[in-house]
Every structure is written in structure tokens, then in C-alpha cells.
Chains A and B, each alone.
Chain A
Amino acid sequence: MPRATSDAKLLIQSLGKAYAATPTNLKIIDLYAVFAVATALIQVVYMGIVGSFPFNSFLSGVLSCIGTAVLAVCLRIQVNKDNKEFKDLPPERAFADFVLCNLVLHLVIMNFLG
């Protein structure tokens, strides 16, 4: 048992250390994604308490948040310097794709809100 806790402690420490080394712009994206997921969670909890009556509103709210988070993760994957798969993809292009995808997503959501 003590070994497990020490392992867990070590794990958290090394995770924290490794994460601290990531560049600031990636951290900002992470924060953005975490914020979006948190918003989605709040909506789900709200739905659990109040009920899901305007179901399309609930759906578009939650999917908007999750979609934003997913797109942010995609952007993070593409602009990450350590990722060898996207070496020849300029970050500007990645960002443009991200914006386009977001535009489509939110146009659809505005249509769906009802």
C-alpha cells in the first residue's frame, strides 16, 4: 500500500513536471478545451436537475461544447512541434482549418437551436 501511494505521488509529480515543459500556446489550447468540456459537464448536470425539455437546445449546447473541445484538440495535435506527422503543416494553415471547421459547426448549431 505505501508503495502504491508513493508510486502515485511520483506519477503525479512526473506528470506535472512533464506537462510544465509544454509550450505556452499549447497550454492555452488545453485550457480552452478543458473549459469547453467543463461547460458541457455543467449543462449535463443542469439537464439532470431540470430536465431535457427543449431537447434540441440541450443537444446543441452540449455538442457545441464538445465539438469546440474536439476541434481544439485537433488544432493542438496539428500545431504541436513534437508531433512528427504534421511537420510540414504550417500552424497558420492549421489555424485556418480550425476556424473554418468552427464556423461550420456553429452555423449548424445556430440552425439547430430552434
Chain B
Amino acid sequence: MSTYDYLFKYIIIGDTGVGKSCLLLRFTDHRFLSSHDLTIGVEFGARIVPVDGKNIKLQIWDTAGQESFRSITRSYYRGAVGALLVYDITRRDTFEHVTTWLEDVRKHSNTETTIMLIGNKYDLAAKRAVPYEEGSKFAEDNDLYFIETSAKTDDNVEKAFVDTAEDIYRKVQEGVLVVNGEPSGVKLGPSQPGISSIPDVSEISGYSCC
């Protein structure tokens, strides 16, 4: 059981079948399953990633995309500091629903929650129905991060999770996010004696959106 300095809670949301569970499995287990059962309710996964010399433990809740689970999955918004909003670049409707998802997150989550818009299934770019520029534009307009990924070929999956973590870490350093606040998606790891880190502005890494 390795120790960690901070603990961030993530949620993964988006329409059913866009590859949310596959992204999580790829990130936590470095595996890909082409046929994954429908997620029932919410599944949990975790991994530690290094950010700026700190070990950040990511606790990720992978939610069911189906409408029938929507009310249950909303319960998780409040406690999360990172939200990965996923759509399928080959299915235009999944992109169109992003607006609704975004409203939902904004309504129920902390205002400081970092939201990453993810266009998944990049490996099927030949069948693309949502141009990269469109996704990118939408993200820009709504102040989201944006990335295209492939859980199948492991393109950008790591980056999607780590970039989100970096942004959250930056907010922690800046004091925008309160560690161990209630409710809080950010906590100190067991190795930390207390909240000792004073936000150090000079340390903020130049974060760029992809």
C-alpha cells in the first residue's frame, strides 16, 4: 500500500456506450476489454499518479450512462473535484448530449470542479462524426479542457487523467480548493501530518490546454 500526498475524487460521466468504463480500466489496469457489460450504478477504481513531485491518489467513480441511473449518479457530483465528460466521436448524438451533461454537472457539483471534455474512440477516426475542431470549440466556449482519446489504443488516456489532476493540484496550491473541506473531493494523504503546504504561486506549472 503505497502512500500518497493528496487524494482527488473524479467522476466519469457521459452517454451510455461512449467508453467510460474502458477509459477507467485502461487507466487503472492498463487493459482493454472490447465487450464490457453495462455499468450498473457506479463502479470504483483508483490509481496514484505523480504530479509536480507529489503522489496524487485518484479515486475515480465510473458512472452508468443510462438515463435510468441518472438520479443515482448525480449523487456523486457533489463530492468530486474532477469530472471527465466523455462522448463518442463516431456518434454525433453523444456529443449533442454533452450540453445536458454539462448543465447537470454545473448544477450539482462544486463550482471549482475541473471538467475535462473527452472525445473517445479516436481509433475509429475514419468513422468520425464530430470534428476535432467542433469539440475543441465547444470546450473553449464553456471553459472546459478538451482531449481526444482512445481507450483501445491507449492514446491520451493517461494524459486526460493526469492533466485534470494537474489542474486540480494547481487550484489546491492556489487555495481555490480547500483541502479536507466538507464536502470535499480533495484530501490529504495519510502520510501528511496536517495541512502544511502553503500555496506557492511560483510553483504553478504552466498548464496548457491541449
- Specify whether A and B are partners: no
- A-to-B contact residues, CB < 8 Å: none
- B-to-A contact residues, CB < 8 Å: none
